[in-house]
Amino acid sequence: MLWRLTIVVLPFILLLVIPGVIYREILMRLSRKMKQEFSKAESRAKHAISSVRTIYAFVGESKASSAYSAALQLPVKLGLTQGLAMGLVVSNNGVVFVVWSFTSYYGSRMLMDSQQMKCFADACSTGELIMEVMIQVPKIDLDNMEGEILDNVRVKLNLDKSNFRIRQGQKALSLKIFVYKSQQEKAWL
C-alpha cells in the first residue's frame, strides 16, 4: 500500500526539485552580476574620493555624482529582479503545501478503501478504553488509614486448569477458568 502512495507522490517531487534548482541558478547568476556592477560603482566612487580636490577645482561634482548614479542603475535593476526571483522561491512553498494536502488526501482514501481500516478502528477503541482505565479515580480513599492493613500478602496464580482457545475470525479469545489463591487458601473462580 505504501508503494502506491510513493508512486503517486514521485511526480510531485519533480515540481519541488526542478524549480528549486532553476531558482538557485538564477539567484546565483543575479548575485554574481550585482557584485560585478557594485564593484564598478565602487571604483568610480573611490576614484572621485581620491581626486576630490581636482573635481572641486574644475566644478565636476555634478558630473561625478551623475556617473556614480548611472553606475548604480544596473545593480538596482538586478536587485529588483532578484527580489522577484526570491518571491517565486517563497511562493514555491505553496506548492509544498499542495503536495502535502494531496498526499494526505490520497493516503486517507487508500486507508479507507483498504481492509485495514478495521484494525485502526479497533486500535482507537482499545486506546480509548485504556485511557478510561488510566483516568479512572479509585473508590478507595488512600488518605484514610482506618481498617485492616495487611503486612505480608502473597498471591499465587495457578493456571494449570486453565483452558485458552484462540480462533481466527470473529471470536478472538476464549478464557475458560483460572484459579486465584491467596494466603488464606480460599479459591475464587
Query: For residue 57, what is its C-alpha cell?
Result: 577645482
Whether residues 54 and 8 fall in one domain: yes
pLDDT tens figures, 56-73: 777 778 888 888 888 889
Boundary-marking domain end, from 107, 122, 137? 122
Whether residues 96 and 167 fall in one domain: no
Is pLDDT at 13 greater than 50 in this prediction? Answer: yes
Residue 173, classed as helix, strand or coil, is strand
The verdict on residue 70 lying in a domain is: yes
Q: What is the pTM of this model?
A: 0.49
The verdict on residue 85 lying in a domain is: yes
Higher pLDDT, 139 or 36: 36
User: Domain range spanning residue 71?
Assistant: 2-122
Task: Give the pLDDT score at 159.
Answer: 63
What is the mean pLDDT of the segment spanning 149-164?
66
pLDDT tens figures, 74-101: 989 999 999 998 888 888 888 889 999 9
Whether residues 118 and 181 fall in one domain: no
Rounded to whole angstroms, how far apart are CA atoms 57 and 127? 89
